[in-house]
Each structure stands twice: as structure tokens, then as C-alpha cells.
Amino acid sequence: MQTTLRGVGVSHGVAVGEVRHMGTAVLEPPAKQIPTEEAGREQGRARQAVEAVAADLIARGNLAGGEAQGVLEAQAMMAQDPELMSDVDRRIAVGSTAERGVYDAFASYRALLANAGEYLAGRVADLDDVRNRIVARLLGVPMPGVPDSDEPYVLIARDLAPADTALLDPTLVLGFVTEEGGPTSHSAILARQLGVPAVVALPGAGELAEGTMVAVDGSTGEVFVEPSAEKRAELEESAAARRAALSASSGPGATSDGHKVPLLANVGGPADVPAAVEAGAEGVGLFRTEFLFLDDSKQAPSEEKQIAVYRQVLEAFPEGRVVVRVLDAGADKPLDFLTPADEPNPALGVRGLRSLLDHPDVLRTQLTALSKAAAGLPVYLEVMAPMVADRTDAKAFADACREAGLNAKFGAMVEIPSAALRARSILQEVEFLSLGTNDLAQYTFAADRQVGAVSRLQDPWQPALLDLVAMAADAAGAEGKSCGVCGEAASDPLLACVLTGLGVTSLSMGAASIPYVRATLAKYSLAQCERAAAAARAADTAEGARSAARAVLSGE
């Protein structure tokens, strides 16, 4: 009998197949005391296992490329954290085995993250994965990971670590469903990059029996258990119609009546550029430069290295617009040379632009590198600061850009509610705004973007979030300046229409989402988008906003 479960759809498409569950390693090794004379040998075993796991993560990142590479390299750094290793050594010195020392040291660090206001809770899944890999290697048991299967399947997991998501084989993994996670988690972002249909934050997903037939709709978040022949035919017909619309859609983004909405790509570096170009991106709306800095958390990359990386991206979009976000460090992206190590709540501390203003040499080097990288290229370079709170922040950034001789537009990201509320004031100092809806939702609702338990509040359809978007867009319009969206909200085709109706002037997203958004925008006029936006803002819930907008656009 067919039943329907509902989670959060995070990657478009439909997948129909049998359930296979994610394999797990033995999580907790036995507690066993070792003689003092064996401590040195056990410490050596622990270090060898840590180095092997770190090397494996880096190798996986090299294979995956793009954003996945930066995420996996950050995991490798987590495995090799000096403080963690010191704790492991200390535990082994007082009698723990290597595997037990690793397990207990990671458990202690995990507790610290969980008590840090849960802002870093998104790193807990990454931390658990690193721990499991090290312990599995020490115990000689199979590494946790994707099941071995010759037939395509739908993967079910409590959560997916980046190391697993990054190397999923789309020819075998038709789609995946997780019990935890959220729309802006690493797994969700990587799923969109891979083009694999995915649903997250689905309670009880782990209870689905191995071999159960399911149909996963990554657009609606619905999972149909033992779908009927009629439902499967309906889903396949819908998927075919979507594919036909995608293949027929090309050219710049625009509504049906010709209102232009440039569709840009979010990239983490040169490896993401080919997919963006192939998808027809009109430029880059968010170049996340932090992945370059995460290669080495102990020192900033040289000016020469930065120039080389930036130029590769800029050269790919002649006559196009490339919006670069300067280093966004802190909170869940700590860097030893930049961010404080002892903040009680890093999410509300020195991060983003605040870190850069405390280290003007780092900011100056990056701005100088961007200026030199763009020299002589026919590209429209725009540079923006993350985590701008007010006009004082915006002025400090604009002044730094001018002092570096940067020939580009200067902008501010709207990720803090105060920036949306005072957007017109901020626009007296900068030339454009870019809404980072992921963090804006996080700070608006006090809801960590990585915690599945609060994913309801991370839904970009929340009317309060739409109100803030409208405020920023209205302010930009009044000043004759642009206001784009570069958060994951832009990747939802229906929401893209609503954002357009709210006055947003450009949309930036993962490359895989661009064709879906282009095709959907082309179906509706600007007036229809404006009516859908008004209906969404009049609702009281995210689901109500989504339903109201859909009803307007479908003519119901």
C-alpha cells in the first residue's frame, strides 16, 4: 500500500528505486587498559591512522573537485587538529588504546561543539565521520560508506558526510534520503552539484526496510513508499516534461514578457567553472574565495597564488559579471592565522568582514590580488564583503577597496537582519547588495542552518525572510542600485519567481539549478511573479507561502 512521507527537497529531480542503507563502522571500541610501556606504540598507531584518513580525504577531494574539494580538505584538517591529537596522546599515555583514545578525544570535542550554541552543530556530522574513519582503520573493520551494489538504488542514511556525498556515483545512486541535515547543509549543496535528487530532514527514513521500493521527488520533498503504478507513471511523466522544458530553455534569464533576470553561478574555484559555463551561467554571482584559504589554515595564500586562481575564474566569463566575496572566515570556517580560538559563540563573534578589518593586511593582499587578476580582462568585476552589519562596516570595506586601487564595484552581503532593515543606509557607501539567504535565515530565526531539528525555520519560504528580502530589494530600487540573491533560495525555481516579484535583480545558484530556474522564469510574466510574491508574503507559514505562490502561478 502506498504511503507518503515528507521531508525537505534539496535537489531537483525524481528517483525511483529500491532502498539501500548506508553502512556504518563499529562506532565505540572496547575500553581496555594497556601497559605504560605500550603507550608509545599506540600513539604511533593513532598518528598513522590519522594521517592515512587525512590523505584519503584529500585524495577524495582531488577526485571530486569544486566545492567538494574544499569541504573535504577542511575535514582532513579537522582530523589533524593539533589540539585533538594532543588529547589523543594524553589519553593513550594514561592507559587507553589508540582506538579508545581517538574515540574519547573526539567525543570530548564533540561535546564542546554541541555546547557552543549549536552554531557549529553542522560540523558534528563531519567530526563523527572523521572519527569513524580513524577508529575503523585502527580496528581493521570496513570503512563506513556507500553500500556495494551492482544495481541502481536509493540511498538512505541518518546523515551523509561530505566524503561520501562528494563521490557518489550518479549511475548507481539514483537519489538519497537522510533523516537529518537541512537545505543548506554540505550534503544538500553537494547533491545539487552532482545533480542527484535528494530529500533531507525526513524523520523515520532509517526505518524503511532494505529493498523497499520508493519514489523520491527532490523538488517537493515527498518520498512515496511502495508507489502505485499510477503514481510512478505520474512522476515519470512530470520528470519527462521537466526534461523537455529544460532542453528547450536557453539564453539569458528572463520572464515571459522580457524582464531580464541574470542567472549567475555560485562557485568555489576554477574547478566549478566548466559546469557553470555549460549550464549557461551569465557570470558568477558568488565566488567563495574561502576555499582557497582553507588549503592551509595556518597562513594566508600568497598574492601570486591568489592572482592565479582568481584569473582562471575571471577569464572564463569575458564580458560577464563576476562577483567575488572576500574571505568569509570564522564560525564553522576557522583559520588559525585569522580567527580567535576562544570565542564562546563564534557565530556571533569575530567572523567575516570583522575578521578582515582586524587583519587589514590579509584584506589588502586579497584586494590587490583581485585587482591584478582582473587587469586587462574584459570582465565586470564586483567585490563584496560578508557579514556587513551597518553603514560603518560598509564604509570601512569600501575605503579598503579604494586604498587597494581596486577598479571594481564594491558591495555588501545582506546576511544579518540589521543590514536588511538599514539597507538604504548601507547603500550610501556601496554600489550593490547581495542577499545570502542561508545566513540571513539562520540569524533571523536563531536556527542553525546545519541542524535538521530546526530545518522548518531554515526554509527560505518563511514569510518573515521574504519580508527582509523585500526590504533590501526596495531599498536598492529606491537608490537605483542592484540587489541579487546568492543564497540557496535562488535554486528553487518557484521561489526564484517570487524573488523576482519582490524586486531582486539577479539570481545566483549552483550550476545544476540554472536550467530549472531559467525554464520556470520563462513561463511567467513579471506581473505574475509580483502577484505570487504578494501572496507568499501574506501567508503565515513557509508551506502556506509556497502553496499561495503556486496557486497564483498556476491560475488556481
Supply the residues annotated as catalytic: 186, 486
Cα–Cα nearest to 319, from 253, 373, 409, 380: 380
Q: Which residues pair with 284 in a beta bridge?
A: 265, 322
Instruction: At 220, list the grid cell.
Output: 517537493
Between CA 92 and CA 99 the distance in angstroms is 9
SS3 (DSSP) at 442: helix
The C-alpha angle 67, 163, 100, rounded to 5 degrees, equals 140
Contacts of 230 by beta carbon, 8 Å cutoff, 6+ apart:
none
Q: Are 368 and 404 in contact (CB under 8 A)?
A: yes
CB atoms within 10 A of CB 512: 21
Between CA 36 and CA 39 the distance in angstroms is 5
Q: How far is CA 228 from CA 7, 175, 197, 238, 411, in A?
A: 20, 19, 20, 15, 51
Edge-to-edge strand list for the sheet holding 3-6: 3-6, 222-225, 213-217, 14-21, 153-157, 173-178, 198-200, 8-11
Q: How far is CA 209 from CA 93, 176, 204, in A?
A: 44, 15, 11
Between CA 260 and CA 239 the distance in angstroms is 27
Helix (H) or strand (E) holding 541, with range, is: none
Phi, psi for residue 175 in degrees, rounded to 5 = -175, 175
Between CA 116 and CA 378 the distance in angstroms is 46
Q: Are 133 and 56 in contact (CB under 8 A)?
A: yes
Between CA 16 and CA 177 the distance in angstroms is 12
Pairing of strands 283-288, 506-509: unpaired
Print burial letters for 444-470: b (CB count within 10 Å at least 16), e (below 16).
bbebbbbbbebbbbbbbbbbebbebbb
